[in-house]
């Protein structure tokens, strides 16, 4: 039996496969693919798509659509920010990603209250949201420090 502070997270076979893909993408020419924040955000978006597939059909244009857009927005903003940008520009995109994570947090709570999500799915998704938030905030802090010490872009020289 676990203590109240511990949470058991069931990892599905598909999530194990996705985790294995994380390792295979390291070294990619696309800089965002090497970021743990992007990798976690992609896992989160996939999970949101899976769980919302079971929501009531009348929610397809409501809560389902909102949750999916928020989840996709996280990894999309991280990817766009990691493109040939300055540290300050990347920080701005990370702020957008963090905003989307907080939107998703609220939407997950609503889905739980409406009994569209099981407590287990809610806990698992919330854990991933929290992990993604922690990594995004850490990356943002690191970029702010980098921005104080250099004015160059993150991916090399800008092209006109």
Q: Which domain holds residue 76?
A: 13-149
* Residue 154 in domain: no
Count of structural domains within the chain: 1
Measured between its terminal Cα atoms, the distance across the chain in Å is: 60
**The residue count for the chain:** 160
Round the average pLDDT of the chain to a whole number and report it: 81
Residues in a beta bridge with 61: none
Segment (H or E) for 122: helix 119-149
- pTM value is 0.74
Per the domain annotation, does 51 fall within a domain?
yes
Whether residue 2 is contained in a domain is answered as no
> At 144, which CATH number?
1.20.1440.60
**Tens digit of pLDDT for each residue in 3-39?**
333 333 344 444 444 444 444 444 456 788 889 999 9
* pLDDT greater than 80 at residue 127: yes
Q: Assess if residue 56 is contained within a domain.
A: yes
């Amino acid at each position: 039996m676990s203590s109240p502070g511990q949470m058991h997270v069931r990892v599905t076979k598909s999530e194990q496969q996705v985790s294995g893909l994380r390792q295979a993408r390291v070294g990619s020419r696309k800089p965002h693919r090497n970021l743990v924040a992007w990798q976690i955000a992609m896992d989160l978006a996939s999970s949101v798509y899976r769980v919302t597939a079971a929501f009531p059909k009348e929610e397809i244009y409501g809560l389902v659509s909102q949750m999916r857009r928020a989840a996709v927005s996280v990894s999309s903003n991280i990817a766009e920010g990691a493109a040939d940008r300055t540290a300050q520009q990347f920080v701005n995109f990370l702020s957008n990603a963090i905003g989307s994570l907080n939107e998703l947090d609220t939407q997950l709570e609503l889905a739980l209250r409406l009994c569209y999500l099981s407590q287990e799915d809610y806990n698992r998704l919330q854990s991933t949201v929290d992990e993604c938030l922690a990594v995004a905030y850490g990356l943002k802090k690191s970029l702010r420090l980098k921005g104080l010490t250099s004015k160059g872009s993150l991916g090399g020289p800008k092209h006109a």
